[in-house]
Amino acid sequence: MCLAIPALVVERLAGDDGLIDLGGVRKRVSLALVPEAVPGDYVIVHVGYAISRLDPGEAERTLALFAETGIAGDAAGAAA
């Protein structure tokens, strides 16, 4: 099973990398596939790569559902 989850872009780093926040956990991921992503954007992250930008409202609804089901912590570990 594959899991891609919404994460908030906190900072653009050198090259194509960025720092994302995933429920309080910060990870370095590649933003090469979404070069238009800027801090404050939500992106979908899968195995260390941001694969698309996401509407902030949709990201917040998805994260709320994860929190309700209790998989928010599991999702944070799986994304990176």
Residue 14, domain CATH: 2.30.30.140
Which residue numbers in the chain have pLDDT < 50? Answer: 77-80
Which pLDDT value is given to residue 25? 92
Domain limits for position 18: 5-79
Q: How many Cα atoms within 13 Å fall on the side-chain side of residue 10? A: 12
Which pLDDT value is given to residue 38? 97
Tokens coding 41: 């954007």
Q: Is 67 helix (H, G, I), strand (E, B) or coil?
A: helix
Cβ-contact 55, 24 below 8 angstroms = no
Which residue is associated with the tokens 């994460």?
7
Q: How many domains does the chain have?
A: 1
Q: Look at the pTM and tell me if it is higher than 0.85.
A: no
Which pLDDT value is given to residue 80? 46
